[in-house]
Amino acid sequence: MNRLLAATALTAALVAAPAAARQLTIDDVSALSRVSSPAVSPDGHWLVWQQRETDLTIDGGRFDLWRLDLTKKGAAPEKLAAEGDVNETAPQFSNDGKTVYFQSDKGGDDAVWSVGIAGGAVTRLTQFAGGIGGFKVSPQGDKLLVWADRLPGAPSLEPAMVKKDANAGNGRVYDQMFVRHWASWADGARSQLFVLPLTARSATGNGVAIGGKLVGDAPSKPFGGGEEVSWSADGKTVFFALREAGRIEPLSTNLDIFSAPADGSLAPVNLTDANDGMDNLPTASPDGKSLAWFAMKRPGYEADRQVLMLRDLASGKVSALTGAWDRSVGSIAWAPDSKTIFVTAEDTQENPVWSVSPVTGKVTRLTGEGNVSAVVPTATGVVFAMNSLTAPDDFYALSGKKTTRLTSVNAAKLAGVEMPTVTRFNFKGANNDTVWGYAVKPAGSTGKVPIAFMVHGGPQGSSNNSWSYRWNPAVFAGAGYGLVAVDFHGSTGYGQGFTDAIRNNWGGWPLEDLQKGLDAATTKFAWLDKDNACALGASYGGYMMNWIEGKWPDRFKCIVQHDGVFDARAMAYETEELWFDEWEHGGKAYFEDPAAFEKWNPVNHVTAWKTPQLVITSEGDYRIPYTQGIAAFTALQRRDIPSRLVVFPGGSHWVTKPKESRQWYGEVLGWMGKYTGAK
């Protein structure tokens, strides 16, 4: 069986489609339950996780805690903490396995709470004001590490008293760059680490800061979490990743690994100062002997190979465990006996679990098809979350070579939905390299179907075998399109050289791959209507839509461009993470080497534009600011090209709210249907 089809077959076996099967829609996807943050009790008895349910009244989701008895075959999931209008998240077990600690926003600010694994009343443990971002309990269960936004240098969690001048204006004032990041303006606060004493009934006081004089965010923003902090086995030290702030912060990818005593008695020590590339995911071994993390070699490059590193905590000796393995480590977890490290790493459109020997560095693949999104080692194996192109996340157990499915969380919601068929293909692309792609065929389709040619973002990313709540290939197939995706040069999961090939080459080899890939797909799959295609993409994929407008103007009946770069010059001065844009175009600022940016600048080819285009952007997108979308729309309108502009208020680089997601798909499918005739 094709590896990409295995997850589909598994879903079909568990959710048998009735006679009146129907296609998947965005209404289905936006209503699905979403599982994440799994935790397993030390004795392997219980699995606990957070589960999100869509709530259209708040245009978002609400989170509850669920549990599953792993000792009973066929046991059904049960709610553990699920108070209405309250979010319960981030479960962690006590060292005796009897208590589950979690984060809750009951009463307003987030705090740490606890509940017995058998259920019962919940108890609030922290009482300080100002809320938290997250927490981790020490291995001994006697201390609580929390991270929270506070002003730099704050000695404790007690919020600073800031006197406001009633006559002052509300203008923001800055003296250095990084004035905004992702979807937020800088307000002076930093995510900082604090430690509190913990008992079964409370975590009292405002804690003590352990970051010393460091100024930066730990965990990093906007997406860092508990994976970036780690307790030592004896509970006396905290390891954390941090990029020191300053005038070069928007130019630097140099996160380092620091160690700090949990009592705040000494200043943190930089363990990776010798490496100017990124160091992250510090993960201490349970036996207290080692610290694992990943390291990137090249400064300023956010998509360099992530090599698994190991430090002997007694001697300080450091080794690159996966230095000879041409794959990039995405997550790290130790086995309870410290004899194995489990990692995830992309490999040719899959994201499996691998084991790594901390002694020899030997790497062994443990899972096949699918995208593994979370890994929790246990005494008997591994519990992991996995999804695919045709199935959202569920939990599985791996023991030896045997994999057992533990949950079917969305079985009822997907009952009657017939998923599409996914087939992988490859061809000779630019530089005569092998390039991979896949085609998604609508379920039950006969004859030819119009094409949705989807280009992924990143650009260092992959159209891999994973479920998406934003750009979901199965939804396009459900709307009657044969979706084609190609992992062009620059994509991940094929070795670092392939990923690096897009630098200084944004509109070169990737466009050649896309052209050859679409031709290969339409030659191989007779059910694709070669002459009835629309192209669509976001971020770098949106850039490619604007590039296609000028460089491949006669191929598509319509284009959908979301948050794409239109003018490379403006982008170089407007974006927030300058390291990304400058690295991609050779490593210099625009004013130092304008030719490197102008070579692949879509604005220079507007006179060739002719394809009808839908432009989508968000006012709160600071990665590729919404002005880029407005500029593209202006170019289209001034050339009298059929065009439409959708602007989401607030938001970010992504569309994540359920109502906005449904509107997004309505606009996109409506635009494509107008030009392809699909209904």
Burial class (CB in 10 A: 0-12, 13-18, 19+), 552: middle
Please confirm, yes or no, whether 181 is among the known catalytic residues.
no
Looking at residue 13, its amino acid is A
- Mean pLDDT of the 606-629 span: 98
**What is the mean pLDDT of the segment spanning 111-138?**
96
pLDDT tens per residue across span 270-307:
999 999 999 999 999 999 999 999 999 999 999 999 99
Q: What integer pLDDT is reported at residue 20 of this predicted model?
A: 63
Q: Residue 376: helix, strand or coil by DSSP? A: strand
Q: What is the mean pLDDT of residues 415-438?
A: 98
Which two three-digit tokens encode residue 256? 């380092």
Active-site option among 104, 539, 618, 661: 539
Q: How many C-beta atoms lie closer than 10 Å to residue 151's C-beta?
A: 13
**Residue at token pair 């740490």:** 112
What would the mean pLDDT of 401-428 be, rounded to a whole number?
97
What's residue 162's pLDDT? 75
Residue 328 has what pLDDT? 98
Structure tokens at 375: 């890994």
**pLDDT(209) > 60:** yes
Adjacent-strand bridge partners of 148: 192
What does each C-alpha distance from 187 to 149, 191, 200 come to in angstroms? 10, 12, 36
With cut-offs at 50, 70 and 90, classify the pLDDT of residue 401: confident
What mean pLDDT comes out for the span 428-454?
97
In this prediction, residue 101 carries a pLDDT of 98
Q: Which of 466, 455, 461, 462 is nearest to 389 (CA)?
A: 466
Task: Identify whether 653 is a catalytic site residue.
Answer: yes
- Tell me the pLDDT of the chain averaged across its residues: 95
Which residue is associated with the tokens 């075959």? 73
609 three-state secondary structure: coil
- Catalytic residue at 539? yes
Residue 405 reports pLDDT greater than 70: yes
Helices (H) and strands (E) in the chain, counts: 12, 38
3-class SS of residue 378? strand
Enclosing H/E stretch for 499? helix 496-500
Integer CA distances (angstroms), 657 to 222, 564, 570, in order: 18, 20, 28
Looking at residue 165, what is its pLDDT? 84
Distance, CA of 339 to CA of 359 (rounded, Å):
8
Look at residues 523, 517, 368 and name the one whose alpha carbon lies nearest to residue 456: 517
Q: Which amino acid is at 313?
A: L
pLDDT of 526 above 50: yes
One-letter amino acid identity for 652? Answer: S
What pLDDT shows up at residue 6? 41
**How many angstroms separate the CA atoms of 522 and 514, rounded?**
12
Residue identified by tokens 């952007």 is 617
Catalytic: which of 456, 562, 585, 653? 653
What is the C-alpha separation between 227 and 232, in angstroms, rounded?
14
Partnered with residue 384 across adjacent β-strands are: 375, 396
pLDDT at 227 over 90: yes
Task: Give the Cα separation of 126 and 111 in Å (integer).
Answer: 6
pLDDT digits (tens, 9 = 90+) for 139-175: 999 999 999 999 999 999 998 877 788 888 999 999 9
434 band by pLDDT with thresholds 50, 70 and 90: very high
| DSSP state for residue 97 in the 8-state scheme | S
pLDDT tens across 347-369, in order?
999 999 999 999 999 999 999 99
At residue 185, φ and ψ (nearest 5 deg) are -85, 145
Report the distance separating Cα 608 and Cα 550, nearest Å: 5
Distance in angstroms (rounded) separating the CA atoms of residues 620 and 651: 5
178: left (phi over 0), alpha (psi -120 to 50) or beta: left
Neighbours of 166 (CB within 10 A): 4
What's the CA gap between 482 and 474, in Å, rounded? 10
Mean pLDDT of 414-427: 97
Q: List the catalytic residue out of 110, 487, 567, 621.
A: 621
How many whole angstroms separate alpha carbon 205 and alpha carbon 508? 58
Q: What is the mean pLDDT of residues 585-609?
A: 98
Instruction: Let me know: does 425 contact 419? Beta carbons within 8 Å.
Output: no
Which strands form 134-137's sheet, in the order they lie side by side?
134-137, 143-150, 190-197, 208-209
Is pLDDT of 14 > 60?
no
CA distance 264 to 256: 19
123 pLDDT above the threshold of 80:
yes
Sheet of 237-242: strand order equals 229-231, 237-242, 256-261, 269-270
Q: What is the mean pLDDT of residues 338-344?
A: 98
Q: Residue 379 burial by CB count (10 A; 0-12/13-18/19+): exposed, middle or buried?
A: exposed
